[in-house]
Amino acid sequence: MKHVFAVALLVFAAAADVSRAAEVEAQSRIDAVTVFPMGAEVVRVAKVQLDKGEHSLLFRDLPAGAIEGSIRVEGTASGKLEIGSVDTRRLFVPRADAEASASERRRIETEIEALRDDRARLEAQVQAAETQKQLITNLTQLPTRPAPPVGAERGEDWTAILALIGAGSAEAQRALQDAQVRIRETDRKIEDLEKKLAEIAPEKTERTEAKVFVIAQSALEVDITVRYQVAHASWTPLYDVRLQTGDKTVAPKIDLTRRASISQKTGESWENIALTLSTTRPSAGASAPELRPLIVDFEPEARPPPAPMAMAPASGRARSMDEGAAEIAAEDQLAAQERFAAAAPQKQVVMAERPAEVVRAPFHALYAVPGRLTVPETGEAKRVQLAAETIEPELTIRTVPKVEPKAYLYAKFNLPKGSPLLPGAVSLFRDGTFVGTGRLPILSPGEEHELGFGIDDLVRVRHAISEETRGETGLISTSRTDSRNFLISVKSMHERAVSLAVFDQVPVSANQDIKVDLTGKAPTRENVDDKRGVIVWEGKLEPDQEQTISFGYRVSWPSAKSVIYRQ
């Protein structure tokens, strides 16, 4: 019969004298990892054979970055096993390949020393070539010496001297250039070897050791699980959204693929593990923030300037009662100012930052990645597919012809039941062609969302000013007017009906004396998305159908003034 035990990382009073416990080193391996948006929980497993008596189980393969307060030990045993306590400490342990690494380091260091000796010899060659060039330069000064007296014998053979100068200059320059080139090559080799030397792991590495004190009532076998959390690991959601626009007989559809990009630099390689992704944030805090009192008070009056200090009389009398009272009042006023400054402004800054921290708070989901996989500790991204689903969208055409006479295809869909969509980058495909990237917000099951899929070449859009007039009205009290009328046409060449949304705008008055009246076809909605003056016409666009929208606006204001249009 298996006995189940569990122990947290707390120091309990051991039931036996642990100083006499026999140390047993337990070799564990990583079996499963749960990765959070920031951080991860690692599960190690080990199987240990114990004799009857007291033992200290040593787990020395935990990474140095294991968060101490998160370490937990649990498992099952084939007999009765009592737990005394669990201790942890940091230590340096030899690497398994320490001898090979040391040999490689020595080889590289020897090679670097040889290259530096070569570089010193090359620098000597450069110096010798520079000296030779200087000597040759001195020879070129011979023709500038004063000519010998008339009748004196001329001893210089200028032909030989010029030949010597030319040959010597060329030889010195070649030697100098050759030495400089070899110095550059040597420097590159030394730099590459120094980088390789820096990449070689040290002979010892820092680890965390967990020591579990146990008492076995008989010889038994123990299956132990060690759990701990680490930082420097994360996962990010990614999405592929592929839209098939369909045709006359086939309805459009969206294939939504959920992916995850996982990376870690925890100091240990996750090899052949069961991987689970969680939306939980263990380090985000377990309690809601607390509010401090927010006090409102009258603004204190300006502090009066201090009165000039009078010289104390020779008799040395004490200050008057009025002087002492004034000083006390000034101190009270300064204290009130400090209390007022420490109240409201500080809390306003903190509260303004809180919404970003709770965006994902209502959601918790776990994604078990199929099979077992390996995630290296180099920080390279590992991408895995989490799920795939098919959604029936509603196609919509959006156009803003005033800015750009083009139509854009959108797909509106409801998220199916199941787990939510976390914020993440999305790659967009339309009929098998990549059209761009976007970003999905956090979406709950059943929530509606729209995604744009680029310009729709099967829709023609035109925008024109059909009429534009300016003038004055009124007999006694005149006013000036500005009238503009527009004509928008949209034609679909789709084989199926699509929804249509045409956006435009009318001026917004910033003064009560300026009147703006909308004319022509009334829009479906005004002030769209709380943007004043933005209007939209919505409807259905049938195959091969062309719709026209004629609308305009009339602006009037007192003739004694002028108006301007600004964004």
pLDDT digits 0-9 by tens, 289-298: 778 887 777 6
4 or 118, greater pLDDT: 118
CB of 237 within 8 A of CB of 59?
no
Q: In whole angstroms, what is the distance from residue 205 CA to residue 526 CA?
A: 67
DSSP 159-211: HHHHHHHHHHHHHHHHHHHHHHHHHHHHHHHHHHHHHHHHHSPPSEEEEEEEE
Compare 292 and 557 and report the one with higher pLDDT: 557
**Whether residue 227 is found in the same domain as residue 256:** no
pLDDT of residue 467 exceeding 50: yes
Residue 129, in any domain of the structure: yes
pTM, two decimals, is 0.59
pLDDT band at 254 (very low <50, low <70, confident <90, very high): very high
Among 257-261, 362-366, 521-525, name the one with the lowest average pLDDT: 362-366
Q: Are 431 and 471 in contact (CB under 8 A)?
A: no
Task: With respect to residue 187, please indicate whether it lies within any of the assigned structural domains.
Answer: yes
Q: Pick the closest to residue 223 from 16, 42, 44, 8 (CA basis).
A: 44
The per-residue pLDDT for range 179-193, each reduced to its tens digit, is 888 888 999 999 888
| Side-chain-side CA neighbours of residue 494 (13 Å) | 26
Q: Where does residue 345 rank: exposed (0-12), middle (13-18), buried (19+ CB within 10 A)?
A: exposed
Q: Assess if residue 314 is contained within a domain.
A: no
Q: How confident is the model over 192-251, as pLDDT tens digits?
A: 888 887 777 555 677 888 888 888 888 888 888 889 999 999 999 999 999 999 888 899
What total of structural domains would you count in the chain? 4
Alpha carbon separation from 524 to 412, 495, 528, 531 (Å, rounded): 19, 25, 10, 15
**How does residue 330 score in pLDDT terms, banded at 50, 70 and 90?**
very low
pLDDT class of 19 with cuts at 50, 70, 90: very low
71 with 139, same domain: the answer is no
Where residue 484 falls among pLDDT bands split at 50, 70, 90?
very high
What pLDDT shows up at residue 353? Answer: 28
Average pLDDT of the chain is: 79
pLDDT at 366: 82
User: Distance of alpha carbon 304 from its chain centroid, rounded?
Assistant: 52
Q: What percent of the chain has pLDDT over 70?
A: 75
Residue carrying structure tokens 């829009």: 523
Are 190 and 212 contained in the same domain?
A: no
How is residue 318 written in tokens? 């004490």
Radius of gyration of the CA atoms of the chain, in A:
42
CB 510 within 8 A of CB 472: no
The whole-angstrom separation of Cα 278 and Cα 191 is 43
pLDDT tens for each residue of 96-112: 555 667 778 788 888 98
Residues 270 and 189 in one domain: no
CB atoms near residue 37 (< 10 Å) = 19
pLDDT band of 88, cuts 50, 70, 90: confident
Q: What does the pLDDT read at residue 303?
A: 72
535: CATH: 2.60.40
Domain end position, chosen among 452, 469, 485:
452
For residue 309, is pLDDT > 60?
A: no
Asked whether residue 271 falls in the same domain as residue 391, the answer is yes
Model confidence pLDDT, tens digit, residues 336-350: 444 444 444 444 333
pLDDT mean over 15-27:
64
8 Å CB contact between 273 and 377: no
Q: Is 251 or 3 the better-scoring residue by pLDDT?
A: 251
For residues 129 and 180, membership in a common domain is answered with: yes
* Residue 321 pLDDT exceeds 60: no
**Is 292 contained in some domain?**
no
Query: What would the DSSP string read from start to end of 501-557?
Result: EEEEE----SSTT-EEEEEESPPSEESGGG-TTEEEEEEEE-TT-EEEEEEEEEEEE
Residue type, 320: S
Residue that finishes a domain, picked among 433, 452, 471:
452
* CA distances, 473 to each of 348, 396, 415, 555, 557 (Å): 53, 43, 56, 12, 10
Alpha-carbon distance 65 to 268, whole Å? 10
The pLDDT score that the predictor gives to residue 9 is 40
pLDDT over 90, % of the chain: 30
CB neighbour list of residue 127: distance below 8 Å, 6 or more residues apart: none
Q: Please answer whether residues 232 and 33 qualify as being in contact, where contact means their C-beta atoms are separated by less than 8 angstroms.
A: no
- Residue 350, domain member (yes or no): no
Look at residues 518, 504, 501 and name the one whose alpha carbon lies nearest to residue 463: 504
What residues contact 317, with CB distance under 8 A and at least 6 apart? none
Instruction: Kindly state whether residue 349 falls inside one of the protein's structural domains.
Output: no
CA distance 120 to 114: 10
Mean pLDDT of 521-546: 93
Are 396 and 412 in contact, with CB atoms under 8 Å apart? yes
Does 415 map to a domain? yes
In terms of domains, do 394 and 524 share one?
no
**Which of 358, 364, 531, 359 shows the shortest CA–CA distance to 441?**
359
Q: How far apart are CA 383 and CA 27, in angstroms?
A: 30
CA angle, corner 438, sides to 433 and 443, nearest 5? 115
pLDDT at 473: 67
Alpha-carbon 548 to chain mean position: 47
- Note whether 103 and 194 are same-domain residues: yes
Residue 324's pLDDT is 47
List alpha helices for 8-97, DSSP H: none
Both 89 and 105 in one domain: the answer is no
Cβ-proximal residues to 51 (8 Å cutoff; 6+ apart), any chain: 216, 219
Spatial distance between the Cα atoms of 298 and 340, rounded to a whole number of angstroms:
9
Whether residue 567 is predicted with pLDDT greater than 90 in this model: the reply is no
At residue 8 the predicted structure's pLDDT band, cuts being 50, 70 and 90, is very low
Which of 327-331, 395-399, 440-444 ranks highest by mean pLDDT? 395-399
Over the stretch 125-160, which tens digit does the pLDDT of each residue have? 888 888 877 777 776 665 555 555 555 555 556 566
| Full residue range of the structural domain in which residue 81 is found | 3-95+204-231
Q: What is the pLDDT of residue 476?
A: 58
Does any domain span residue 300? no
> What pLDDT is recorded for position 133?
75
Are 277 and 371 members of one domain? yes
Asked if residues 215 and 51 have their Cβ atoms less than 8 Å apart, the reply is no
Claim to verify: residue 30 and residue 91 sit in the same structural domain: yes
